[in-house]
Amino acid sequence: MTKHTPPTIWVLGASSGIGKAVALAYAKKGASLVLSARRVADLEQTQKECQVHTDHVWVEPLDLADTSSHQGVADRVKSHLGHLNVLFHSGGITSRTEASEAAMDVERRMMEVNYFGVISVTKVAMPMLENAKGHVVVITSVAGKLGTQFRSAYAASKHALHGWFDSLRLEIEPKGMHVTLVCPGYIATPLTLHALTNDGSALGEMSEKQTKGMPADVFASKLLAKLSSKPHEVIIGGAEVMSIRLKRWAPKLLHAILKRSKVT
């Protein structure tokens, strides 16, 4: 990508929340975009909003859990974009489960979507990234650094992403590619509305902390400003992100705080 060439971006999870906000932020920079998620109608709405700023926006539906379909989607992305400057992972699900009570199907579902699905897309996108010395950006969570009540399955899936992508970074940096792991705090998105409960049913309500979180467009603006330097890790959020530092420097204090905290 030269200074005057619009970047090529594939955004996963572009139907709502962080993914949609990031897609719009890139569109305002004139990027060529492919938008993916499961919900086609919502993707088409994101596409419509992006087209106010850029003419080059395509929709390619994708189910992260259906890994057998990912190569076909990647082939279509290549036909649209050719090469890939940024692969942006924002797709995923969350949980509100008790570690000892959650059905094993819920545990597996969390890993199939949040971990196996994400690394599968990364694998099929790698040739396009290598051609452009591209940048992989992965939305994880503060939960990728520490566990809290009722988020055991979610935290496990996000911890797994950190391990896999830290390893990938070391392998691909010699080829000129980069990996950034992004740990958001509470962002105002509908994520918890569809959170899986112990039996796999949807929670059906919004977390109060999520509702009062940082607006997704503000988060996207802050994130894109940081990504230009291709950092290994970005942490953005409110006071809750301090828990990452406490985990390292004062783990017993963090444990005591979390035990007293209302986790929703």
Q: Which residues are catalytic?
A: 154
SS (HEC) of 23-38: HHHHHCCCCEEEEECC
Which residue, 7, 2, 1, is CA-closest to 33? 7
Residue 44 and residue 19 in contact, taking contact as beta carbons nearer than 8 Å: no
Measured CA to CA, the distance from residue 63 to residue 40 in angstroms comes to 11
User: In 68-219, where do the E strands start and end?
Assistant: 86-89, 135-139, 178-184, 187-188, 214-215
DSSP letter, residue 11: E
> Tokens standing for 42?
């919502």
What is the per-residue burial (b if ≥16 Cβ within 10 Å, else e) of 57-95? bbbbebbbbebeebeebbeebbeebeebbbbbbbbbbbb
Confirm if 84 and 8 have CB atoms less than 8 A apart. yes
Radius of gyration (Cα) for the chain, nearest Å?
18
